[in-house]
Chain A
């Protein structure tokens, strides 16, 4: 289904939970609020989560995305769904999510962490049952998880990263067993903490150990200048890079090819401005020479955008990729 196409399209992770217009009956925001004030039950909320998961899967498929996600409809942020299931975390106050005007709840390690049961597998199974296209599973990387957490127990960053890596390894293996053909670890913290690349890689090695399906990382909000080589020297199958937030990654690949799959974030997922098709095509044509497998995507999760901006941006991305695939003669 997908092997005979040279360039594949994908998304990074989350998808807007709220549509615009008269869809209030299945509005996730209202439903969560109504659950919080006791107007609907947990089961009723679950049904609305499922409806919206199906909706965003259909939307991604109808827009022509090859490798989709479940849209992370249940995710409060990148760490809370996992932290809430891991024993030893307490979910704390709001903290800024990197350099965005967006906040997440900081998990605090209050006792030794322990993985009890999968946090994302049931949702993955449901999403898979709804999807025609390949659906990838997305987890935070151990290093990013550690950076976003506060530690009052281990008091040593390396121990925390490794502990989280072992926990995420259990989660990844459970996802693999549930049929996930691709497991992606999101690593936004790395571009802000380049001096810790060795620790981040050691964490990823542990998190990916024994995982036999396709696996890789996704970096965003910055570039990998200065730290790409050690990342290439790992056994992950693909590396995701952001070509929008800075021009660093483009410069980095100007004189270099990589031997891994490249997840290229080329559509700005943090600004509503629609991409110029010519500039986009030029960038994708440039990148296709750099890797044995190019995955084209937005620069990060789509939740930074209002709903109305998503379809035009994804359509433009797909249209450009189809044009190149069609003419490229790569199949």
Chain B
């Protein structure tokens, strides 16, 4: 049967040797070439692993990205990178600062996309961070307003998406986790997504993290994408009830694994989530995936979780096929 395709949200945990190599690189103890080689090795491994587990739509795992916003800023014109700011507790990161007009010298992710796609026959998703999130997670010393800054970024992300499409990507995901943080700016997020996906013919997806969905639903359905990917497992799929009242008019990326928990989710829970989604959407409009990126888990945890996800999907499919066969036999 078609439908209930499995995928992931984007990031995978970096293997220990790559973590160490990244640290050595920042301390000047490892060359950029050597680091790049190891990033490629880790990319090969993570793609192989996804194939082995049976994931339908592959990601490159983002082995070469530190952070989903700073990574892009490092490659774009008009940004510099700040000193350390605190993320939480004893965790710090460097944050982009817009200091001039934002522009793109060359494609940022296309080489990695091509490399990843060369390793598998399955489709590889192009993975981008959306303009609203880049804006919200950066400092701005150049643009007069949040809107001006976001719209400038939207043009750049649009160019990158066009290049990914040209390189053969069948799926392009534009992550906007910041959308749910400031519900009063949903119109800006919608306006900028229109620019990003304008003229794209491939399937477009956006991932939004958990927030005040009650306040942005059904308005978020105006985001110019084919699919909205949501965290559902960490609130036990309660969000789906909201979609019962006002129909969910897009495809859904159905988060079925709680990525913030170490323990492996139960197959029953995953099946329950998929079945609950099937009550409101047909299988071909449901893409089964984890709640969020997997980079905060260990490799063992991440792969064990994904195995459960694929098994659960397979069992639900079998049950559906059984139902179909039964329905046909009655005709």
A-side residues, CB < 8 A to B, are 16-18, 20, 29, 32-33, 36, 76-77, 80, 93-94, 96-97, 99, 101-105, 271-274, 303-309
Q: Please state if B83 and A308 are interface contacts (CB–CB under 8 Å).
A: yes
Interface centre among B86, B87, B136, B260 (most CB of A within 10 A): B86
11 A–B pairs (Cβ distance < 8 Å), ordered by A: A18-B83, A18-B84, A33-B90, A76-B88, A77-B89, A97-B88, A273-B141, A303-B86, A305-B85, A306-B84, A307-B83
B286 on the A face (CB < 8 A): no
Interface centre among B88, B94, B136, B141 (most CB of A within 10 A): B88
Q: Please state if A102 and B88 are interface contacts (CB–CB under 8 Å).
A: yes
Chain A residues near B136: list those with CB within 8 A. Answer: 101
CA gap between A304 and B140 in the complex, in Å: 13
Q: Please state if A273 and B140 are interface contacts (CB–CB under 8 Å).
A: yes
Q: Classify the secondary structure of B's interface with A.
A: strand
* Given A18-B92, A272-B141, A273-B139, CB of A303 within 8 Å of CB of B181: no
Name the 6 nearest CB pairs between A and B, nearest first.
A306-B83, A103-B88, A273-B141, A306-B82, A272-B139, A20-B83
Chain B residues near A36: list those with CB within 8 A. Answer: 90
B244 on the A face (CB < 8 A): no
B116 on the A face (CB < 8 A): no
Residue interface bits B194-213, CB-to-A below 8 A is 1, else 0: 00000000000000000000
B90 nearest CB neighbor, chain A only? A32
B112 on the A face (CB < 8 A): no
B137 on the A face (CB < 8 A): yes
Chain B residues near A303: list those with CB within 8 A. Answer: 85-86
Q: Please state if A271 and B140 are interface contacts (CB–CB under 8 Å).
A: yes
Q: Please state if A77 and B88 are interface contacts (CB–CB under 8 Å).
A: yes
Contact of B85 among A33, A93, A94, A306 (CB under 8 A): A306
* Nearest CB of A to B127, in Å: 19
Chain B residues near A304: list those with CB within 8 A. Answer: 85-86
* Nearest CB of B to A83, in Å: 13
B20 on the A face (CB < 8 A): no
Bin the interface of chain B by size.
20 to 34
CA gap between A273 and B145 in the complex, in Å: 12
Q: How many A-B residue pairs have CB under 8 A?
A: 68
CA gap between A94 and B140 in the complex, in Å: 26
Interface centre among B82, B140, B178, B182 (most CB of A within 10 A): B82
B97 on the A face (CB < 8 A): yes
Q: Please state if B88 and A104 are interface contacts (CB–CB under 8 Å).
A: yes
CA gap between A303 and B83 in the complex, in Å: 12
CA gap between A84 and B82 in the complex, in Å: 32
Chain B residues near A33: list those with CB within 8 A. Answer: 90
B94 nearest CB neighbor, chain A only? A306
B285 on the A face (CB < 8 A): no
A304 nearest CB neighbor, chain B only? B85
Q: Please state if A76 and B89 are interface contacts (CB–CB under 8 Å).
A: yes
Residue interface bits B172-190, CB-to-A below 8 A is 1, else 0: 0000001001100000000
Chain A residues near B139: list those with CB within 8 A. Answer: 271-273
Chain A residues near B178: list those with CB within 8 A. Answer: 101
* Nearest CB of A to B255, in Å: 17
Q: Please state if B87 and A103 are interface contacts (CB–CB under 8 Å).
A: yes
Give chain B interface residues in 86-117, CB to chain A under 8 Å: 86-90, 92, 94-95, 97
Other contacts beyond A29-B90, A36-B90, A103-B88: 8, CB < 8 A: A76-B89, A271-B139, A272-B141, A303-B86, A305-B85, A306-B83, A306-B85, A306-B94
Q: Please state if A94 and B88 are interface contacts (CB–CB under 8 Å).
A: yes
Q: Please state if A96 and B181 are interface contacts (CB–CB under 8 Å).
A: yes
B81 nearest CB neighbor, chain A only? A306
CA gap between A139 and B47 in the complex, in Å: 49
